[in-house]
Structure 1
Amino acid sequence: MEAKSVALRLKAGSSDKAYTAELKQEGTGWVVHCANGRYGGTLKPQIKTPDPVDYETADKIYTKIVNEKTRKGYTAGGDGVAFAGTENAGRVTGFQPQLLNPTTEEELLEVIAREPGQWVAQVKFDGERRGLNVVDGKITTANKLGLEVPVRGEFAQAVEALVAAGLKDFAIDCEDMGKYLVPFDVLSIDGTDLANQPLKARLHQLNVFSNLCAKADVDDTLRCADTWVIDNVALAKELIARHREKKAEGLVFKRLDAPYVAGKPNSGGDQVKLKFYNDITARVSGHTTGKRSVSMELLQDGDWTEVGKVTVPANKKIPEIGALIDVQYLYAYEGGSLFQPTFRGVRTDYLEEDCTTDKLCYKPDDEYMPSMEAVEDDQPSL
């Protein structure tokens, strides 16, 4: 039995993150302590084992944590190059997506009131992030981590049709919805790098790209995102209400003068996401060893049924088994768990009979899809 420790780092665009993990003896048992934060700054501690455990259990927790971080691109060493020295090193494409911080409706409306006409909105799609790059007709697709992933046959056929129509070089940021892609930003086209240009210029190119997709008859496979200029608070409220009613995952709001910047800012930013969450009160059914998470359950036809787990923030006490907790989530799967749950706190003003599955909001069968109507070349989606 031996103590272990590791210092990891990940650089992506403007983001530079550090993570440390330590397996050490405490009394007659063993504990796992971690910390994370910006590289070179003060790291925030994370205690993975509130109480000492046996060495085998602690070692499993430590190993699992380190493996999870390295799968995300963290590496040991000073440069922080993603996946360096790992089995995924050969899959690195260079694609580094721009990531968004969440916002609230109140914060968003305040910004729009101050800056009318300076922001646009797009629907936030619930798929897998993809960077699609085409150079002289050769296709490369990357996931959110920037690792190369296989190209679906129908997507390759759509790109071949665009190449045949004359578009042999382009890079787009999009969402993979399974049967189709939703391009929402154009990073380059015909060899011209657009990342440093303002969003307004990139949206114009997105509409040019959309028109080409329509002319090549692939707009069913490449469905470019709808975009709305937010001229006033009333329009923002109307869009939010409309898409909340349609049970969309949320909306993304972007400044028209902003360039495409890889990574996520520490706070705020020129692009933010507004997710349409729901609330439910559930009962805690168990604790997860080595994690700050608890299992949840709800009453269904008089019987308790599991609805997944939720992480408890480090600044809040882990609730006891049997406690009732308020949880925010995007939607629920029929017969399954809550999607993207967020712990809000313990509820003392609810009864167990209030914790029922009939209050859940489920994922809709027919999701919002972007329109397939081509726009005039001189009328970008603005």
Structure 2
Amino acid sequence: MQPQRAELYFQQGSSDKVYHLQLEGGQDQWSVQAQWGRRGSALQSDVKVSGTSYEQAKRVYDRILREKTGKGYQIAQARANGNEAIAVGLPATKEQSGHTPELLTPIEEPEALLLAQHAAWWFQQKVDGRRLAVQKSERKYSGINKLGQIIPIDARLAESLDRVQAQGFLADGEITDSRFYIWDLLSVNDTDLRIQPYEIRYVHLTKHFPGVSDVLRVCETAMTTKAKRDFVKKMHDANAEGFVCKNRNAAYAGGRAGQHFKCKFVATASFIVGPKPEGRRRPPLHRRVSLGRQLASFHGHRRSARPISARSRSWKCVTSTVTPDPKENSSRLNTSVKCAMTLPSPIAASAS
């Protein structure tokens, strides 16, 4: 648990904006703060979350960072406890790599736990980071994002990858601010492993990557029924984002092939609830948002928002702020509502 901060910027045409983000605190009192605006002008500020656990604050920090970089912001500087965090750049020209990342299919936890009984399925942690594949060719490294676009990678990550005893490789995983978690090895030393079942690719992965560097981590994998159930409980206790179900017999397939699954313990979303604009019959303060397979409706008025339960799932309003809309007169207000959908654990329920 350590403080973090990031400085981002966005430049396009006449637009020149900055965005500063900080994760600060100690013990169980952590907060995330942000400042933004045009470069050189007085910045607006907001407390995104405060007085919460490190795990919750870190999720908010990482989510905001992903949202901003996804909108075109670039990281000018990022630090973790005084040390610069590993940075992954945006695609300079949106050049396609020729590699199509394999995407996970979301499922509910009860469905995922049924797979724990079958030897064909392995469980891994769902890392809360950014998708990244790294290719080494002719002693040079290039990153590949989840869209298959080529992106630059941090020099310190490349330095750690230099310790891998292989002339070339294509490794797939997820990167956080301090580590690259690797779960698949698709090629090594000019040998294409994608036609091999996942269990064979995983053997090659553990052969080439474990213990190479603290920056590189092979994803922990639970293989037996007991290990998988214990693993899920461990992820719950650690307040992890969720877990992944891998079919050990599946060859690699790009896109959302439906052969590997992800299960998230908590789904989060942000909603903007505002007043009814003139000339509209249906007010925009009625939002309908899909999370997984559930639908939830949110109703509100000028100064509050009331979450309505989504079927059997419970929705909890975490924070809400009311700020004047600068584009409207002072009597019109926008309400920002941040909510979380908690998914009860069948394991936790059976253990109690």
TM-score by length of 1: 0.51
Does the CA-based 8 Å contact 2:271-2:338 persist in structure 1? no
- Mapping for residues 264-343 of structure 1, pairs under 5 Å: 264-265=256-257, 269-277=258-266, 285-286=273-274, 311=289, 319-321=298-300, 322-326=305-309, 338=338
User: What is the aligned-residue identity percentage?
Assistant: 23
Distance 1:157 1:184 in 2: 20
Distance in 2 of aligned mates of 1:99 and 1:195: 15
Alignment-derived partner of residue 139 in structure 2: 137
The answer to whether residue 206 in structure 2 is matched with residue 223 in structure 1 is: no
The answer to whether structure 1 residue 128 and structure 2 residue 98 are counterparts is: no
Show CA shifts across 1:188-213 (max 9, x none).
Answer: 011111111101101101101224xx
In structure 2, the residue corresponding to 1:129 is in which secondary structure?
strand
Aligned alpha-carbon RMSD (Å): 4.3
Letter in 1 for 2:264: K
Distance 2:252 2:119 in 1: 19
Residue 246 (1) aligns with residue 219 (2)? no
Shift of 1:323: 4.0
SS at structure 2 position matched to 1:270: coil
1:158 offset after TM fit, Å? Answer: 1.4
Aligned ranges 1:1-382 → 2 under 5 Å:
91-113=95-117, 116-162=118-164, 166-211=165-210, 214=211, 218-229=212-223, 231-232=224-225, 234-265=226-257, 269-277=258-266, 285-286=273-274, 311=289, 319-321=298-300, 322-326=305-309, 338=338
* Deviation of 1:332 (Å): 6.9
Higher strand share: 2
Partners in 1 of 2:136 and 2:266 — Cα distance?
A: 36
Q: What whole-Å deviation, never above 9, does each CA across 1:174-193 have from its counterpart, x for those lacking one?
A: 11112221111001011111
Post-superposition offset of 1:242? 1.4
Aligned mates of 1:160, 1:318 — CA distance in 2: 51
- Write the letter of the residue equivalent to 2:261: V
What is the identity, as a one-letter code, of the residue corresponding to 1:311?
V
Highest Rg: 1 or 2? 1
Give the gaps of 5 or more residues in structure 1.
1-70, 73-86, 297-308, 345-382
For residues 194 and 276 of structure 2, what CA distance do their matches in structure 1 show? 43
The residue type paired with residue 197 of structure 1 is: Q
Shift of 1:228: 1.3
- What is the CA–CA distance in structure 2 between the aligned matches of 1:278 and 1:194, rounded to whole Å? 34
2:104–2:262 contact (8 Å) kept in structure 1: yes
Aligned to 1:253, the other structure's residue is in SS state strand
Which amino acid in the other structure matches residue 105 of structure 1? Answer: E
Aligned match of 2:8: none
Deviation at 1:317, TM superposition (A): 8.5
Deviation at 1:238, TM superposition (A): 2.3
Conservation of the 8 A alpha-carbon contact between 1:279 and 1:329: no
Partner amino acid, structure 1, of 2:203: H
Other structure's SS at 2:217 match: coil
Shift of 1:101: 1.0
Change (3 A) 1:242 1:174: same
Measure the CA separation in 2 of the matches of 1:184 and 1:224: 6
| Higher deviation after alignment, 102-111 or 190-199 | 102-111
Residues 1:246 and 1:93: Cα distance change in structure 2 (over 3 Å): same
String of CA shifts for 1:320-364, please: whole Å, max 9, x gaps: 32543237789979999748x5699xxxxxxxxxxxxxxxxxxxx
Match of 1:148, as an amino acid?
I
Mapped to 1, the partners of 2:176 and 2:263 lie a distance apart of 20
The change in CA–CA distance for 1:288 and 1:317 in structure 2 (over 3 A counts) is farther
CA distance in 2, matches of 1:186, 1:257: 15
Distance 1:276 1:141 in 2: 29
**SS in structure 2 of the partner of residue 320 of structure 1:** strand
CA distance in 1, matches of 2:133, 2:108: 27
**Residues 246-268 of structure 1: CA distance to partner in whole angstroms, max 9, x if unpaired?**
01111101111011111013xxx
Letter in 2 for 1:263: G
